[in-house]
Structure 1
Amino acid sequence: MRTIDWAGDAVELVDQTLLPDRCVRLRVETVAELVAAIRRLAVRGAPALGVAAALRVRDDDIAACLAMSERGAGLLEGDRLRIMTVCNTGGLAAVERGTALGVIQTLHERGRLAEVLALEPRPLLQGARLTTWELARMGAPHRLVADSAGPYLPAKGEVYASRPRALRR
């Protein structure tokens, strides 16, 4: 699903403040409307903000996220990986696939994902609302975990993702 796009002289975007209850596309026709949408976090995420401001940025973002997803999934070793994500980094923060959540989607598509542990409820419960919504849409197994458990789970070996080959000495 493309979460932000240009339609003629307007920008159409998913109003993220209404998720997960409703998926509504917002049509923005003026700079003032775009600024208001950004201020109320209807659109958020650095890639998405750039796309909202320029047509070619959209196409570059789509290509970069796909390449990042493929490369990132290739760097992680093993199957049945449990991955923790700390921020909403999917298509809602970009255009389609997303950044780190794009890697998770590729792992899921390749049958290498056991589970995603989604964190990060600030400032508008993005992890609880947006990340879990995106994971459910892709059919990826996931659980929402309280932020305070974030450091504890990797320390106890509950997050199973090998270090990327490129980072090994």
Structure 2
Amino acid sequence: MVDVSNDSQSVETLRWRDGRLEMIDQRVLPARFEYLPYSSASEVAEGIRSMVVRGAPAIGCAAAYGVALESLALRQASREAFVAGMEKGFEVLAASRPTAVNLFWALKRMREVWEANKQGTVDEIVDRLLAEAHEVSAEDVRINRAMGAYGAALLPDGARVLTHCNAGALATAGHGTALGVFRSAVEAGKRISVIADETRPFLQGARLTAWEMVQEKIPVTLITDNMAGHLMSRGEIDAVVVGTDRVAANGDVANKIGTYMVAVLAQRHGIPFYVACPLSTIDLAIPDGTAIPIEERSADEVTGFRECQWAAEGVQIRNPAFDVTPAELVTALITEKGVVTQPNRENIAALFAS
């Protein structure tokens, strides 16, 4: 456990130190800021599963490093044990969380490197896999910067922007997707203020988004999830920007549970609803939102938080972690290749044609 300074300008959600991966423990923010160390694929998978790290891009980066770590951990094994161990590492990482497509995108990318170098020496394989993991992380920051610039242009000066969950630096390798749009807008000189849904039941908006914005002195107001419609009806929200964990080929968007309600409210009040969406989050193999797997998480997240329990003993619990927003409710996707208005199969397919 490594304590660090609470300076958002130097925060790295994931960082490589002394031959191991360190990740911010997002479960304890904002009360504590600390990194936890990881040395194998199974350890990284548990970090993903238990939400030490969360957010689709960050999960993808973590998985890439998980593969590299497994090769390092197996460096002294026999060739047969090395190959078997690597396959097991891919398997355990793939089973960590089902909804975020970046996980599978990153594993596919790492597997291609693994397969291309499988006949090389163990040292060569380890070096190639680690280099690829570093590139996945660096590329994520570049993509977020590009999305931020495109998204910032959509927001007028003085815009009051609602976001749901956390799609910030903490959900990526840096800068963020939805919050990256806000950061880029502020860097461009726009006076942006953020309204953050608390995002029940895991409170990512209250604990993480609000924390990120406070650290950077971007004006932020925290509301409970059931207050968004009230503020919209009073003309106090000008736009909505959220992230996403998976986008289907037709433009349907899976994001943190509650996003669908926000999109419906935004349409009712004539408010643009934007989704910050790296191309790695678009899954062309999924025809529409009905085919996106929705993770169901532990009842403990709904019945209470940490040591406090507020639900009656014996009550039945549902805890889907995500919902699907139909494409017709999405004003535009903000990608690293530009803004896609009226997302549909043709417009989305065109992003991959160039």
TM over 0.5, yes or no?
Answer: yes
Determine whether 1:134 maps to 2:238. Answer: no
Q: How far does residue 71 in structure 1 lie from its aligned partner after superposition?
A: 0.9
Separation in structure 1 between the aligned mates of residue 165 and residue 199 of structure 2, nearest angstrom:
8
Q: Residue type of the partner of 1:52?
A: A
Determine whether 1:23 maps to 2:102. Answer: no
The aligned length equals 167
* 1:71-120 deviation digits (Å, cap 9, x = unpaired): 100122x2111111112000110111000000111222333234211004
Separation in structure 2 between the aligned mates of residue 100 and residue 158 of structure 1, nearest angstrom:
19
Q: Residue type of the partner of 1:117?
A: I
Determine whether 1:48 maps to 2:58. Answer: yes
When the two structures are superposed, what TM-score results if normalisation uses the length of structure 1? Answer: 0.89
User: Conserved in 2, the CA contact under 8 Å of 1:17 and 1:42?
Assistant: yes
User: Conserved in 2, the CA contact under 8 Å of 1:73 and 1:103?
Assistant: yes
Q: Residue type of the partner of 1:105?
A: R
Separation in structure 2 between the aligned mates of residue 25 and residue 122 of structure 1, nearest angstrom:
24
Q: The residue matched to 2:143 in structure 1 has which SS? A: helix
Taking the TM superposition and a 5 Å limit, the aligned residue runs for 1:98-113 are: 98-113=176-191
Separation in structure 1 between the aligned mates of residue 221 and residue 153 of structure 2, nearest angstrom:
24
User: Conserved in 1, the CA contact under 8 Å of 2:48 and 2:54?
Assistant: yes
Structure-2 residue corresponding to 1:7: 17
Q: The residue matched to 1:92 in structure 2 has which SS? A: helix
From 61, 84, 89, give the equivalent of 2:167: 89
Determine whether 1:59 maps to 2:69. Answer: no
From 233, 249, 260, give the equivalent of 1:155: 233
Q: How far does residue 21 in structure 1 lie from its aligned partner after superposition?
A: 1.2
Q: Which moved more, 1:6-15 or 1:23-32?
A: 6-15
Separation in structure 2 between the aligned mates of residue 123 and residue 32 of structure 1, nearest angstrom:
26
User: Conserved in 2, the CA contact under 8 Å of 1:80 and 1:111?
Assistant: no
Q: How far does residue 122 in structure 1 lie from its aligned partner after superposition?
A: 2.5
TM-aligned CA distance change 1:39 to 1:25, over 3 Å? same
Q: Which moved more, 1:147-156 or 1:54-63?
A: 147-156
Q: The residue matched to 2:169 in structure 1 has which SS? A: coil
TM-aligned CA distance change 1:86 to 1:62, over 3 Å? same
Q: The residue matched to 1:150 in structure 2 has which SS? A: helix
Q: How far does residue 8 in structure 1 lie from its aligned partner after superposition?
A: 5.2
Percent of residue pairs identical: 40
Separation in structure 2 between the aligned mates of residue 73 and residue 114 of structure 1, nearest angstrom:
10
Q: Which runs of 5+ in 1 are unaligned?
A: none
